[in-house]
Amino acid sequence: MAAWAERLSGVRGVLLDISGVLYDSGTGGGAAIAGSVEAVARLKRSPLKVRFCTNESQKSRRELVGVLQRLGFDISEGEVTAPAPATCQILKERGLRPHLLIHEGVRSEFDDIDMSNPNCVVIADAGEGFSYQNMNRAFQVLMELENPVLISLGKGRYYKETSGLMLDVGGYMKALEYACGIEAEVVGKPSPEFFRSALQAIGVEAHQAIMIGDDIVGDVGGAQQCGMRALQVRTGKFSPQTQEIAASTSLCREHRESQSHPSKRPGDEHHPEVRADGYVDNLAEAVDLLLQHMDK
């Protein structure tokens, strides 16, 4: 692999994933990842443009930013690209009136959306809200539509809370797709439109930008498909605890099964299709490298 100087050459803007990079969510507000508060502060003091790009769909941006500020992060609502506001824009543009299957925490983002006589379903990480009754209601709404539209805020498989791995919205999206015989529209990473809107907000071209995330598919693969570079951190989804599990199942399965001696190994650096432009232990190391190799 080329030297870091070459790999990071010409970077002017940085997109930061939030969950798993800045902090691990969970009960009591979650916990900041060691070194990340200071790393964000250093980035913001540097000449690099910074934007936060998250698939968080359990909390409104206001609530999310509140949690992060309490953990010590320098972050404001206007700096965050998130799926719920992006979805609201799509709903308005296309005259769609959603039936919502979402977490109560994000409902306020939809306050000015017409929800009478629904002609689509919007699904997000509803957590405990993914009851059978709520899923069945969303299913019935879709089945009653002549042209069923299902919009999913992200399609993550799982995420890590302080208490362990948690099912994300992706599986529930797949459940509705299968039951209704339809395909969902995904708003959020890895959708190129979503990355582009984050880049537009900071006026940086894709080839001048780098994404830092813990998800090899949603963050790294998505950003690269959009023409950006991407670093994967070994925190969050791929922290040591998670790595052991991931090594034996999940994204790594195809790789593992092709090995004669499957072994527990760090992170997800052997994904069969996606290869990051670099792997770092955490955001602090990523920022060290970026500031060190930034064009002066």
> How far does CA 278 lie from the centroid of its chain?
18
Stretch that binds a second copy, among 31-39, 64-72, 135-143, 196-204 (CB under 8 A): 135-143
Per-residue contact track with a second copy, 136 to 175, x per CB under 8 A? x--xx-xxxxx-x--------xx-----xxxxx-xxx-xx
State in angstroms the smallest separation of the CB of 253 from a second copy.
5
| Structural contact between residues 162 and 24, judged by C-beta atoms closer than 8 angstroms | yes
Task: Measure the CA–CA gap between 232 and 188, rounded to whole angstroms.
Answer: 18
State in angstroms the smallest separation of the CB of 29 from a second copy.
20
SS3 call for 116 = coil
Q: Please count the other Cβ atoms lying within 10 Å of the Cβ belonging to residue 200.
A: 11
- The yes or no reply on residue 270 touching a second copy (CB under 8 A) is no
- The yes or no reply on residue 176 touching a second copy (CB under 8 A) is yes
Task: Measure the CA–CA gap between 295 and 84, rounded to whole angstroms.
Answer: 35
State in angstroms the smallest separation of the CB of 31 from a second copy.
20
Stretch that binds a second copy, among 124-132, 185-193, 207-215, 269-277 (CB under 8 A): 124-132
> Looking at 106, 120, 121, 135, which residue binds a second copy (CB under 8 A)?
135
198: exposed, middle or buried (C-beta count within 10 Å: 0-12, 13-18, 19+)? buried
- The yes or no reply on residue 128 touching a second copy (CB under 8 A) is yes
Task: Measure the CA–CA gap between 42 and 23, rounded to whole angstroms.
Answer: 17
> How far does CA 247 lie from the centroid of its chain?
21
- What residues make contact with a second copy under the rule CB under 8 A? 126-133, 135-136, 139-140, 142-146, 148, 157-158, 164-168, 170-172, 174-182, 245, 248-251, 253
